[in-house]
Amino acid sequence: MQTTNQNLLNDVEEVLLMGPGPSMVHESVYKALSVSTLGHLDPYFIQIMDTVKEQLQQVFQSSNRLTIPMSGTGSAGMETSFVNFIEPGDPVLILINGVFGMRQKDVAERLGAKVDTMEYEWGTPVLVDEVEKKLRQNNYKIVAMIHAETSTGVANPVAEVGELVKRTDSLYLVDTVTSLGGMEVAVDKWGIDIIYSGTQKCLSCPPGIAPVSVSDRAVEILRNREAKVPNWYLDLTMIINYWEGEKRVYHHTAPINMIYALHQSLFNVIDEGLENAWARHLKNHKILVSGLEDMGLTMFVDPGCRLPMLNAVVVPDGVDEGIVRSRLRQEYRIEIGAGLGPMAGKVWRIGLMGETCRPENVERILSALKEIL
């Protein structure tokens, strides 16, 4: 067998990442990744860990003591949020209007939950009145939904549903993988008990970390499980002893340099100001939509429930969407995303996330699309 030792990294070119993730990474975050690696129990690294927890509390707008970055991508955050709180037979309600709501359902069913769903047409939001009726008629251990449905570009009414869940004994579980850092996420105000996100979207950190925050009420339920958490790697009852207390207990080797990167990316977001970051995403979203409409293109989602950071654009009749994406990548070094599931071939997904969300990048994608189309 022939072997090679070619370093392919020498030929990696910079591509403008305007798909559904990952987003562009600030130079300061790349620099943070290259800082000397410390041991995972090194006293100075523990100081960094404690600071990252405080930063995440600020960005989540939460005082939850258990607010930590899990080792793994956003999907690890999803698994963490379900595997720690579901025991076989637990009744769970999942609100679905896209791929990632379907994924929540899959994860919950694999854990033996008795899953009930409310499903909505893709491209439309969850309807609060219908959820209210459902919650009046049923008791659930967990009510789960997606804040920013990345597959369609829909913003779901998380705050409004949170008001409904507050009237029940249910735990409220929310996915903010795409929304955190790009639009308001208010964990305590909205009554969210379990929340997870990812680093590679509006936080503009490379993929590999999943911020998670859990309310004190949910932690108490976790501590009173009848059986052990079935996933050792994601078991919060063990991991909490690494992230809290005077004497840290080894669980697994943390991704040291990725936590450096997260620390820097959170610093950047907080330094800009959360409200300023949200306003920047909304402003550039409006510029993008205006430019697309000037070209005769149509947005897939109605204005009242569009995400600012993930824009689903209807592919015009007679246009091969794959060829357009290929030309953008090959000729203009721009990446955008295709549709998922039933939206495959029907929409393009253009991301304006974190460092990608700059006016010069909006101008660049509009110019390239105009030339191609």
Residue 214 lies in a domain: yes
How many structural domains is the chain composed of?
2
Q: Tell whether 281 and 218 lie within a shared domain.
A: no
Give DSSP secondary structure letters for 88-146.
Answer: TT-EEEEEESSHHHHHHHHHHHHTT-EEEEEE--TTSPPPHHHHHHHHHH---SEEEEE
What are the φ/ψ torsions at residue 222 (nearest 5 degrees)?
A: -60, -45
Q: Tell whether 13 and 74 lie within a shared domain.
A: no
Nearest Cα neighbor of 251 from 223, 266, 229 is 229
Using the 3D structure, point to which of 270, 289, 311 is the last residue of a domain. Answer: 270
| pLDDT score, position 1 | 63
Nearest Cα neighbor of 311 from 148, 157, 147 is 148
Q: Tell whether 169 and 306 lie within a shared domain.
A: no
Query: Any idea what DSSP says for residue 147?
Result: S
CATH code, domain with 226? 3.40.640.10
| pLDDT score, position 56 | 98
Q: Tell whether 298 and 257 lie within a shared domain.
A: no
Nearest Cα neighbor of 201 from 293, 102, 100 is 100
Q: Tell whether 235 and 219 lie within a shared domain.
A: yes
What are the φ/ψ torsions at residue 208 (nearest 5 degrees)?
A: 145, -5
Q: Tell whether 57 and 115 lie within a shared domain.
A: yes
Residue 73 lies in a domain: yes
Using the 3D structure, point to which of 229, 249, 270 is the last residue of a domain. Answer: 270
Q: Supply the range of the domain harboring residue 255.
A: 27-270
| pLDDT score, position 3 | 75
CATH code, domain with 365? 3.90.1150.10
Using the 3D structure, point to which of 249, 270, 291 is the last residue of a domain. Answer: 270
Q: Tell whether 155 and 238 lie within a shared domain.
A: yes
Q: Tell whether 220 and 105 lie within a shared domain.
A: yes
Structure tokens of 65?
């003591």
Q: Tell whether 124 and 32 lie within a shared domain.
A: yes
Structure tokens of 359?
């006016």
Q: Tell whether 107 and 193 lie within a shared domain.
A: yes
For residue 10, what are the contacts with CB-CB under 8 A and spacing of at least 6?
none
* Whole-angstrom distance, CA of residue 315 vs CA of residue 298: 8
pLDDT tens for the chain, 373 residues: list them. Answer: 677 888 999 999 999 999 999 999 999 999 999 999 999 999 999 999 999 999 999 999 999 999 999 999 999 999 999 999 999 999 999 999 999 999 999 999 999 999 999 999 999 999 999 999 999 999 999 999 999 999 999 999 999 999 999 999 999 999 999 999 999 999 999 999 999 999 999 999 999 999 999 999 999 999 999 999 999 999 999 999 999 988 999 999 999 999 999 999 999 999 999 999 999 999 999 999 999 999 999 999 999 999 999 999 999 999 999 999 999 999 999 999 999 999 999 999 999 999 999 999 999 999 999 999 9
Q: Tell whether 264 and 223 lie within a shared domain.
A: yes
